[in-house]
Amino acid sequence: MMLRNIYTAIRMSLLGILAASCAGNDDTSFLVNKPQSVAAQEEINAYDALKTYVPRENNPGFKLGGAVSLSDYTGKGVMYRLLNSNFNETTPGYGMKHGAVVRSDGTLDLDHVNEFLTLTGESGISVYGHTLCWHANQNAAYLNALIAPDTLSTTGPGWDLVTSADFETEDSSNYEGNAAVTMAFTPDGEGADGSGRALRVTNPEVRENDWEVQFFLTFSPAVQSGEKYTFTMDVRSDVDVTFSTQAHVTPGAYKHWDFFGAISSTTEWTTYTREITVSESQADCGAIAFNLGLTATDFYFDNITLTKYNETGSVQLIEKTPEQKKAIIGEALESWISGMVTNCAPFVKAWDVVNEPMDDANPYELKSGIGKPDMAEDEFYWQDYLGKDYAVRAFELAREYGNQDDLLFINDYNLEYNLDKCRGLIAYVEYMEEQGARVDGIGTQMHIGIDSDKEKIATMFELLAATGKQIKVSELDVRVNTSNPTAEQLQQQADMYHYVVEMYEEHVPPAQRYGITVWGVTDSPDDASWLPGEKQGLWTLDFTRKPAYAAFAEGLKEL
């Protein structure tokens, strides 16, 4: 419409000039053909609000959602009006997450959340809770402080704990094996004291060199020349054997042939203890290697402890045990979920309870921060402390403290890109339900591009629908892969938005269609943290509808 006004102004100016210079002549009129781009935009602008295109007779509970920041919505500006006009549900992008709500003392700052919930309630738009248990956007400083070592003052010299492992939890952050060994936990009751469990390390065949099969204990900081250390552990093996230890800088980075001596093991549990003074040859090492290659047998390790002699005795750090960390983090999870869900229960009837659990490289396994060299400030992996059942517990808590008819979802990304990840997530849901959790729905984020594999998208929806769960497209946007897209690329984007809705309709039965939430409501600025300059939205940054808007509306009509 702006262009049309410009053309009208030009025309009127020309008429004025002619009238002034040709007094007495007849009026002259002429027509200007409307540019095709203007005509096309008028066709897009003629569409009604998006939510009006959902056929409610076939999809009575369908939620058409749009993502928004709390401040953009509560500011009651253009985004507030756009969300209310076009969508019947919204997902806050950050404001309801652990990192945004949990203060440094563990209490919850809910003022902004409650302002948002009140306003959405007045507008008649529902809120999808996002998200309760994730590894990112967490108040990691608070959580890590909870499990930090205890500091004790001492009055004289003593031995400080460096590291320990009793193998009663899944925490394997301070031990590992090389590729030649297999490791597993014994059943409960087979630990060194007849209770608990031990770690079984298996060498299946005799090797030419003992160091071809190695088990490592790691610690930090590395040892320095002249320091004194004591190493203690309980050990046994299926046959009598003696094996050596080496000093490694890190696992596999050999430095010295001896570290804590040669260890004798029998078929009965024995306790091995060795005190050393670190030599120059052992300095800067942070791993003990146990060389197991000369005997084909099962080795059993339990109650490993490494301590360092403290001459001054002024301060001693006592590391919390894995059991203590599990209990503490479990309490923190309950405090967070109970507080958040209880507060939001009058307004929020559906939750993204567990977000992005599956590992991209190992799609049938959970993500982990163990061994990750560069952790972000807001990164914290609940599963590293609570184990595989962390999601079971999160769902139990959300069910306990929320409304009894709340719909609880698990959510992940790249399910359309990596179909094994999709299958891995489905398998994890099956495991959770075997442990007693009830999972109502599965969310697929779908941050895709104009060149995404359409066959995989269709297959993903088939796999998800086969679970019988509610299926939600939770964070849909379509990248054009350039900050200056051509008309052809914008049409490809429109086609992809339409295709997603088409495949959702084709493969997900109406009773399982929770809904679709658009993450890319508008394009991102070039300096944005999310998809900068990718032009992924249905609207431009100045809120002009794009071809994708019309295509998305046409797709919704077909539901």
**DSSP for 22-65, written as a single string:** STTSPP-----PPPHHHHHHHHHHTS--GGGGS-TTT-TT-EEE
The answer to whether 409 touches 442, Cβ cutoff 8 Å, is yes
Max CA separation in the chain (angstroms): 121
CATH level 2 (architecture), domain 86-148+321-441: Alpha-Beta Barrel (3.20)
Q: Using CA atoms, how far apart are residues 351 and 128, in angstroms rounded to an integer?
A: 6
Write down the pLDDT at residue 5: 37
- Residue 520 carries which side chain, given as an amino acid letter? G
CA distances from 2 to 32, 41, 433, 541, 546 (A): 15, 11, 57, 16, 16
Strand order in the sheet with 175-177: 175-177, 214-218, 287-291, 245-248, 254-256
pTM to 2 decimals? 0.70
In angstroms, the CA 67 to CA 158 distance is 57
Who's near 123: CB < 8 A, 6+ residues apart? Answer: 84
CA distances from 328 to 241, 321, 382 (A): 40, 11, 11
Residue 358: strand pairing partners = 366
Which residues of the chain does CATH 3.20.20.80 include? 40-68+446-559, 86-148+321-441
The secondary structure of the chain in percent helix, strand, coil, rounded to multiples of 5, reads 30, 25, 40
What is the C-alpha separation between 329 and 167, in angstroms, rounded? 18
The residue type at 295: T
Q: Answer for the pair 540, 487: CB distance below 8 angstroms, yes or no.
A: no
Say which amino acid occupies 2: M
Which residue type, as a one-letter code, is found at position 86? N
Token code pair at residue 121: 């309630």
Span 310-330, pLDDT tens digits: 887 766 788 999 999 999 999
Please state, in angstroms and rounded to a whole number, the distance separating the CA atoms of residues 37 and 43: 10
Q: What is the pLDDT, as a whole number, of residue 24?
A: 42
For residue 550, what are the contacts with CB-CB under 8 A and spacing of at least 6?
A: 43, 44, 47, 494
What is the pLDDT at residue 312?
A: 79
Whether 354 contacts 408, CB under 8 Å: no
Q: Specify whether domain 151-319 bears CATH 2.60.120.260.
A: yes
How does strand 63-68 pair with strand 270-277? unpaired
Determine the Cα–Cα distance for residues 507 and 463; give it in Å rounded to an integer. 9
Both structure tokens of 457:
């998208």
Which amino acid makes up residue 511? A
- Which stretches within 265-389 are classed as H helix? 322-344, 383-386
pLDDT confidence of residue 529: 83
**Chain-centre distance of CA 248, in angstroms?**
33
Range 40-68+446-559: architecture per CATH: Alpha-Beta Barrel (3.20)
134, amino acid identity: W
Q: How far apart are CA 428 and CA 363, in angstroms?
A: 10
Residues in the chain where the model's pLDDT stays below 50:
1-28
Q: How many residues does the chain have?
A: 559
- Is residue 265 a contact partner of residue 215, using CB atoms and an 8 Å limit? no
| Collapsed DSSP state (helix, strand, coil) of residue 549 | helix
Query: CATH 2.60.120.260 residue ranges in the chain?
Result: 151-319
Dist. CA 139–CA 103, nearest whole Å: 8
The one-character DSSP state at 217 is E
Angle at 525 between CA 522 and CA 526, to 5 degrees: 140
Of 71, 67, 66, 133, which is closest to residue 102 (Cα–Cα)?
A: 133
